[in-house]
Amino acid sequence: MQSPEVPKTKRIVLIAHDNKKEDLVEWVQLHKEILSKHHLYATGTTGKIVHDKTDLPVHRFLSGPLGGDQQIGAKIVDGEIDVVIFFWDPLTAQPHDPDVKALLRIAVLYNIPIANNRRSADYLISSDLLASSYKKTTIDYNTGLPIY
């Protein structure tokens, strides 16, 4: 089994906890030109705010606490997400913390790059790999061997 190639146009998820939504919107506005070349996805409330403030098209899943994090996790498993930008709030308990942990676990398991704050998001968005095809390596967890 070969690992799929990640296309030039990436499928980027945008997520932010309530206390981080403004930060994410500001970050998206700064990188609007780059982001406009990709397919954007988001949890419900974050997606609405990003679209309203930037006019960028954003496919919206449910709100995180209502299952949006799990929907995104399923898309990762299906190979339909390439990058996750998740501005999470480490100082506020979230009612859906188990869903957040599951989403982060799935992203790591499927070798999806994740940015959890502005600085890491800046590194990801400025990477040459964002605008090019990329041969993704994953692990076959049945054998423990990498799939190229």
What residue numbers does the annotated binding site cover?
17, 21, 43-46, 63-64, 96
Q: Which of 121, 51, 59 is nearest to 85 (CA)?
A: 121
Q: For the chain, how many structural domains are there in total?
A: 1
Query: Which pLDDT does position 2 carry in this prediction?
Result: 53
DSSP helix/strand/coil, 35 = helix
The predicted model scores a pTM of 0.89
What residue numbers does the annotated binding site for substrate cover?
17, 21, 43-46, 63-64, 96
pLDDT at 61 over 90: yes
Domain that includes residue 133, residue range = 5-147
Q: What is the CB neighbour count within 10 angstroms for residue 18?
A: 12
The residues annotated with a catalytic role in the active site are: 69
CATH number of the domain residue 130 falls in: 3.40.50.1380
List, for residues 68-116, the tens digit of each pLDDT value.
999 999 999 999 999 999 999 988 888 778 889 999 999 999 999 999 9
Reported as a pLDDT band with limits 50, 70 and 90, residue 144 is low
